[in-house]
Chain A
């Protein structure tokens, strides 16, 4: 299975600012997925990122709030823009390889 590294592992941010989360995979993958896990809740898919095309967002998530880049087959970034305390969550990068595999996640706290 793929090895996924995310940076930063955690951050505390001021409301109104933006944070970019990086995801690096040790092998080339066609699709990468970004999830959010809010406190005490399950995982919710934010968007699917294909290399060379616009990300596909799930209902309730928009590009202006969560812009995603996918410059090559091993890397992606998710930006959480204009943050509010409601964005406090764990953000996870995932790849699908006969099952979804996850990095350690980024624990974001917005104050």
Chain B
């Protein structure tokens, strides 16, 4: 079974700082990778996803993530965070193929200080 680990549980940054959130997964086969965001009081939203092709994927709101297969990693990055990025971020993985269940990491709470 696949699993996901997120290294940072709580990150505090000042506005305009750069962000990198770590994510590693374990599964020997081909995977799909996701980052979700949950703003305070709101439901989960898909931020970006990787299925195949270019390992550097760009998502909404200036976020990007890079899939490094040799490291089983899919880290999330943003060059300059804003106060509105304060949220919880979840990395997730599923096996490739249709209708596969998604396994979530434990989440990273990001707090951006104005």
Contacts and interface: CB of A to CB of B under 8 A. Distances in A.
8 contacts: A33-B102, A41-B106, A41-B107, A43-B90, A94-B102, A96-B102, A99-B32, A102-B43
Interface string B91-106: 0101000111111111
A99 B91 CA distance: 12
Of all A-B residue pairs in the complex, the 10 with the closest CB atoms, nearest first, are A100-B102, A43-B104, A31-B99, A42-B106, A102-B44, A104-B43, A42-B104, A99-B49, A99-B46, A42-B107
A98 B49 contact: yes
Given A42-B106, A43-B90, A101-B46, A96 B34 contact: no
Interface size class of B (residues with CB under 8 A): 20 to 34
Interface residues of A, number: 21
B51 interface: yes
Contacts of A101: 46
A99 B94 CA distance: 9
Given A30-B99, A31-B99, A98-B51, A92 B107 contact: no
Contacts of A92: 43-44
Interface of A: 1, 30-31, 33, 41-45, 48, 92, 94, 96, 98-105
Given A42-B106, A98-B51, A33 B101 contact: yes
Contacts of B32: 99
B67 to A, nearest CB: 15
Contacts of A105: 43
Interface in B21-36: 32, 34, 36
B89 to A, nearest CB: 11
Contacts of A31: 99
A98 B105 CA distance: 18
B34 A42 contact: no
B46 A96 contact: no
